[in-house]
Chain A
Amino acid sequence: MPKVTIDGNVIEYEGREKLLQLCLDDGVELPHFCYHPSMSVPANCRQCLVEVGMPVKNRETGALEVDENGDPVIRFFPKLQTGCSMDVSDGMVVKTHRTSDLVKRAQKDNLEFLLVNHPLDCPICDQAGHCPLQIQAYKYGPEGSRFEFRKVKKPKRVKLGPRVMLDAERCINCTRCVRFTDEISKSHQLTIIARGVKNYPMTPPGMEFDDPYSMNTTDICPVGALTPANTRFQARQWEMAPTPSITTTNAKGANCFYWTRDNLIMKITPRQNLQVNEYWLPDEDRLVLDQFNNNRPEGPQVRADGGLQASTWDAATAAAADLLDAVDGSEILFVGSAYATVEDNYLLTKLASALGAATPVYLSHVETGHGDDWLRTDDRTPNTQGCERLGLTRTDAATLQAQLEEGAIKLVYVLEDDLVASGLAAGALDGVSVILHHYNTTNATLPAADVALPAAMVVETVGTFVSEDGHAQRVRPAKAIKGINRTLMMETGKSRTDMHGTPFDRWHNESHQVDCQPSWETLPAIAALLGHPMSYKGPKQIMAEVAANHDAFAGATYDAMGLEGVRLEEIGEAV
């Protein structure tokens, strides 16, 4: 295999690689700003300069020339080269800042230049704490600047589009944002305008930066020039703890981090998964903070004296069990949910069959025309495939309504969905008992519920979702709920050790904890009261059982899914 020598270490590589990418892949850190693995290489920031040389060959014989010690003679390029645009070739010798004072000096001087007109307003900048410019200036930059004249003024606090803020003074003109709209999202909405010290990215007149993927530019902007408008000034980076998970806005299963502070979800950012969403996340996936933080229920409720009254979990599960016990299995309609995890839906099917009820149905939430063949899908739920693979029957509000009007159904058990908001006439539930697992107090089916059991959302639970493409992925709790659950405690990622016991430790306070339960905890509790014990140690064991018993889930165990998921065998019919 061809080899390159970087700072004296020999690295083997395959195929045509760029030097910077090779270094990154091999864990050799090299400072850089403009390079992004998925976009073209303009080599305009000049931060990745290195010394590059090639062994000298004898022109006639083609043999390598050696010095008196028998080492090959290396001829270095007279000037430093940008690693991002340099194709590696066999025998190449590279010196980074670790072995070359010249490179060290170049990095320092380059940073001094990049900072000439940079406002250095890190204390009020949302990017501070995760800013490549800040980090690299700290690691490789000069201690001060020789440029002591007045800095160039440019537009600040510009709302470039509905979701992206621009501070042009902070921009280092790496053109990543422009290349993103040109090469990745193809909306062509941005360009660098003007020239020299006056330039910055902008939309042309009469155009707004409203690309449905616009917020990705805020992730790849290596400075604080582009920041998300919705989370502006909400939290400092170091106050939040990230949890690797997936988004549930649609059926793509895009990988993300949920950033939590004090048990509130403060922001959602993409997490790299080359099989699913690469480096990107649609804007719609990031704008759903509200549903996790606001209008959350305060514990279970049971209908008494004509209204829903606050209750305890024990009393509420008992009430649910009583309602189920009072009717015949054939009179119960179980409604699963494409919003809920595979585990929860699976337990629901088990409960249904234990009680002799029909296989649960689930409502499909397809919005034709919403998808774009990329990371947005027509399906607005995360787990339609999971429901299909479990054998749930797809239905819609009209069918449900007709079924209820027939009068044979006495009890509807709704798992994490909203029948009324989906189009079922509220009156159709008159005279029918309703048990409802719900996320938000805005659930329109809630007024018809007899027992309301708050359910943990994707950011609070452990479970599996199967994307439209059959990618099975598990989620982890990003924030704590009120009840104590061993599995959730174990699954909650620990804070960074340097935050342990500080106000930024995610365990530090109990504020904003929602009194809800994962449905995989609620359902077995109800089943047990009905004499159908389901003894699982937790969702991991449930999923192992699903994977073992259902061919459609073969291989989807927690260990196999890990952080990047498992691609399941295709099943016959998809959405």
Chain B
Amino acid sequence: MAADITKELSPLPDRTPEPAFSADELVWTAAEQEQMEVYKKRYPTNDGAIMRGLWLAQDKYGWLPPEVIRLVAETLEVPYAQVYGVATFYTQYFKERKGKYVLDVCTCFSCQVCGGYDMLHHLEEKLEIHVGETTEDGLFTLQEAECLGACGSAPMLQITNGSYLHNLTTKKLDTLIDGLREGKRVPFVSVTLPQDADDLDGNRRSDVKATDTYHAPPVAKTVK
């Protein structure tokens, strides 16, 4: 008899997760249900509304465990597998529980040479976690992100799929973290490109109050 050379089978990844939400929690409010109907009507077929639906669900539950993904699928009457595929495609959909504030520090090329890693490491030390982890108080999750399209104001970070924080310095980060710990959000500051300084009153974003202008970017410690 030949030796058994077969290796052990790998189990399917997260096959039988413990549900994070009970059946009672997995219901939409009337307003949410109505919103879902609006999304459904917006597209020729319901699968067009998957991304909207997932977004709404993430707003409500904070993240997307399998049972929430299934709820979205059932609401939209599209296959669960398809919705799961979409949810796993985008990192902005959280498949694990995250902190209240998810800090996406850009460490892609431009930010990297301007100190993206310096910012990241500063936050790691300040929050006493490694990148990818969540603080014990459940307040912060620290992540690395690829280019978020704001290279002109590098280094930068994004807060929970939302507003950007530009022209980062360690001081700015300290203010941000200390503020958030006390429940205070730092106001969003739009960065105006030099060529806009004269036009548009120096503010491209008419919807934001605070603006800043272009600075000569800092240089990463390792580059210096």
Contacts and interface: CB of A to CB of B under 8 A. Distances in A.
Interface in A166-206: 181-182, 188-195, 202-206
Interface stretch (B4-12, B147-155, B192-200): B4-12
A285 to B, nearest CB: 25
Given A202-B13, A206-B16, A194 B88 contact: yes
A208 B80 CA distance: 13
A509 B66 CA distance: 54
Contact of A205 (B7, B8, B17, B89): B17
B80 A188 contact: yes
A242 to B, nearest CB: 26
Interface in B1-48: 6-17
Interface in A139-187: 155-160, 181-182
A192 B88 CA distance: 9
B186 interface: no
A233 B4 CA distance: 11
Name which of B12, B14, B70 has the most chain A CB atoms within 10 A of its CB: B12
B106 interface: no
Contact of B81 (A155, A160, A188): A188
A123 to B, nearest CB: 12
Nearest to A195: B89
Given A188-B81, A188-B82, A193-B88, A205 B15 contact: yes
A135 interface: no
Contacts of A194: 88-89
Given A206-B17, A207-B80, A192 B12 contact: no
Interface in B150-188: none
A328 B88 CA distance: 75
Contacts of A192: 85
Contacts of A208: 12, 15
SS of A interface (majority): loop
A206 B70 CA distance: 10
A189 B81 contact: yes
A157 B9 contact: yes
Q: Which range contains the number of B residues in contact with the other chain?
A: 20 to 34
Contacts of A203: 12, 81
B10 A204 contact: no
Contact of A190 (B6, B16, B81, B89): B81
A233 B7 CA distance: 12
Given A156-B10, A157-B7, A159-B9, A204 B84 contact: yes
A359 B81 CA distance: 55
A233 B6 contact: yes
Contacts of B10: 155-158
A119 to B, nearest CB: 14
A160 B69 contact: no
A159 B12 contact: yes
Contact of B8 (A157, A160, A191, A193): A157
B12 A191 contact: no
Nearest to A229: B9
Nearest to B88: A193
Interface residues of A, number: 24
B79 A182 contact: yes
Given A204-B69, A205-B14, A206-B15, A191 B9 contact: no
B12 A204 contact: no
A191 B85 CA distance: 6
Interface string A445-482: 00000000000000000000000000000000000000
B113 to A, nearest CB: 23
A193 B79 contact: no
A448 B210 CA distance: 96
Interface in A212-252: 233
Contacts of B6: 233
Contacts of A188: 79-82
A194 B93 CA distance: 11
A479 B200 CA distance: 85
A157 B12 CA distance: 9
Contacts of A156: 10
A201 to B, nearest CB: 9
Interface in A299-330: none
Interface in B83-98: 83-85, 88-90
A395 to B, nearest CB: 45
A204 B66 contact: yes
A29 to B, nearest CB: 33
Contact of A158 (B12, B16, B81): B12
Interface string A10-41: 00000000000000000000000000000000
A206 B67 CA distance: 9
Name which of B8, B70, B85 has the most chain A CB atoms within 10 A of its CB: B85
A248 to B, nearest CB: 31
Nearest to A167: B10
A189 B9 CA distance: 21
A156 B11 CA distance: 9
B5 to A, nearest CB: 9
Nearest to A158: B10
A159 B90 CA distance: 26
A233 B90 CA distance: 37
Nearest to B83: A204
Contacts of B15: 205-206, 208
Nearest to A190: B81
Contact of B9 (A158, A190, A193, A233): A158
17 contacts: A155-B13, A157-B10, A158-B10, A160-B12, A190-B81, A191-B84, A193-B85, A195-B90, A203-B12, A204-B66, A204-B84, A204-B85, A205-B14, A205-B15, A206-B66, A207-B80, A208-B12
The 5 residue pairs across chains A and B that have the minimum distance between CB atoms: A191-B85, A188-B79, A204-B84, A205-B66, A191-B81
Given A156-B10, A193-B88, A204-B70, 7 more contacts: A157-B7, A158-B9, A158-B12, A160-B12, A195-B88, A203-B12, A204-B80
